[in-house]
Structure 1
Amino acid sequence: MRINNETIGICCEIAISDYFGIKVDKNYRKRGNEEIEKSLISIIKHTFNINSIPKPVKLISAKQNKIDIKLENNQTLSVKSNKKELGKAAPQVIGQPSSRTFFEKIS
C-alpha cells in the first residue's frame, strides 16, 4: 500500500475513532494502515487532553463530508494531517490554495 497524505488522514480518523470506541466501517478501515493508526494513539490522547476537545461520538468522513467527526455538544471536528512536518492543509471547500486565496476565503 502506498502511503500518502490521504492515507495519513484516514489513519488519523480511524485512530481517533478507535481510541474513543467509535465504530468504523470495514471498507473505510481497509483504506488505513494499522501500524500508522497505532502509532497515532498517544498523540491523539495528548492532543485531546491538552486542548480539552469534546469527546468524539461518530465518524462521518467516509462519505466525503466536509466534517470528519461529530463531537459531544453538537460540535464537529475536521481532521487535517500531513505526511511531512510542514505541508499544506487542504480544506475541502477551497482545496490547496495560495496563502492569499486562503485568507480571502476565510476572512
Structure 2
Amino acid sequence: MELFNSQSLTNKSLLIHDHILDKRLDFMCLVETWHTTGDHSVLNEACPQGYAYMEKARSSGHGGGLAVIHRAELKLSPLSLPDLTSVECLAFKCKPPYSMTVLLIYRPPPQTTRLISP
C-alpha cells in the first residue's frame, strides 16, 4: 500500500498507472487528485487493467479529492462517515486476503486551530 499526494492527477495519471504496475501494488491511496464529481477520465487513465478505484471528489472549491486504486479482485466496502468541513475522508473495509479498515484523510490548508470540525 502506498500513499501519494498527487496535486492533480491530470498530468500524472500515466505515471501513477505505470508505478502501480511496476511496484505490483495492491492499493495506492491518492490525496489531492483535483478531480471533480462526474469526471472520472483521469482516474480511469490512472487505473491499470485488473484494477478498480473508489473515490470522493471535493464537494466545493479548488483542489482536494481522494481516491484509492486497488486490485479488482480485492473486495472493498465503502464506510459511511459524517460530513466534516475541516478534512476530506474516504474509508473502506477490505475482505480477505486482507482483513483491515482503511481511513484516508486529507487536511487541506489553511486551517484554524480546530483540528476536526463537524
Q: What TM-score results when the alignment is normalised by the length of structure 1?
A: 0.29
Q: What TM-score results when the alignment is normalised by the length of structure 2?
A: 0.27
More helix per residue: 1
More strand per residue: 2
